[in-house]
Amino acid sequence: MRSITASSVDVSINHAEKKLQSIALPTGYLFARRVIELVLVIATLPLVVPLCLIIALAVRLDSPGPVLFWQERPGQDGKIFRMVKFRSMRVSNGAATRLTAERDERVTRLGRFIRLSHLDEVPQLWNVLRGEMSLIGPRPEPASFSEIFEKNIPLYHYRRVIPPGITGWSQVHQGYTADIETTRIKLEYDLYYIMHISPWLDLKIVLKTAYAMLTGHNAR
């Protein structure tokens, strides 16, 4: 990865620092949203559980290896948790040593489909129930990559002032990132979301996420 210096950071990032230092998060809305999330997840379990069983069986039949993929990721305030998703890559020693690229050769046949439809993320509802994630928020990066990004990208740590999300403003606009430069751009979207978090912005993200699930937009 190519390192990035403070002098090369976009002006919008530098401008955001002053706002972030004095920002007052809408705690009332965040609490209400947490309650709504729990109700939604629990209410949809009769649909989600059978869907998960079907996908789990398909993953098992498609390629050798575990059905679920667990990975440590930093959550709110940097607290490490184990994020879960359906395994979409072949099992190998180097499977988790680099970020996913376009047409990644590690992705299985079924993995391609569940990644395009974002069905591989469904098990993360477990992380939402545990309070480790939210339905909407900055997408958590693998812990090892997060350490590199924090050292090389100013303000990166501000992404952790709220819980990470299954989907988010950066996710629906840019999707996955593969290096420091694209992660810096993704950070701009995350900081915008944190500074403008509201029910209307969340609704917009929900609609864009539904579109992405139907079309495979921004998937890898």
- How high is the pLDDT of residue 18? 67
Q: Which two tokens stand for residue 45?
A: 């379990």
Average pLDDT over residues 194-215: 92
Which pLDDT score is estimated for 2?
A: 35
Banded model confidence at residue 105, pLDDT cuts 50, 70, 90: confident
* Pairwise pLDDT comparison (21 vs 106), residue with the higher score: 106
How far, CA to CA in Å, does 143 sit from each of 60, 119, 124?
27, 23, 17
Range with the lowest mean pLDDT among 44-58, 88-102, 205-219?
88-102
Question: Residue 134: beta bridge partners?
Answer: 165
Cα–Cα distance measured from residue 133 to residue 176, given in angstroms and rounded to the nearest whole number = 18
Check whether 7 has a pLDDT greater than 50: no
Q: Poorest-confidence range of 124-133, 177-186, 197-206?
A: 177-186
If you search the block for the tokens 């969340």, which residue do you land on?
A: 202
Look up residue 219 and give its DSSP letter. -
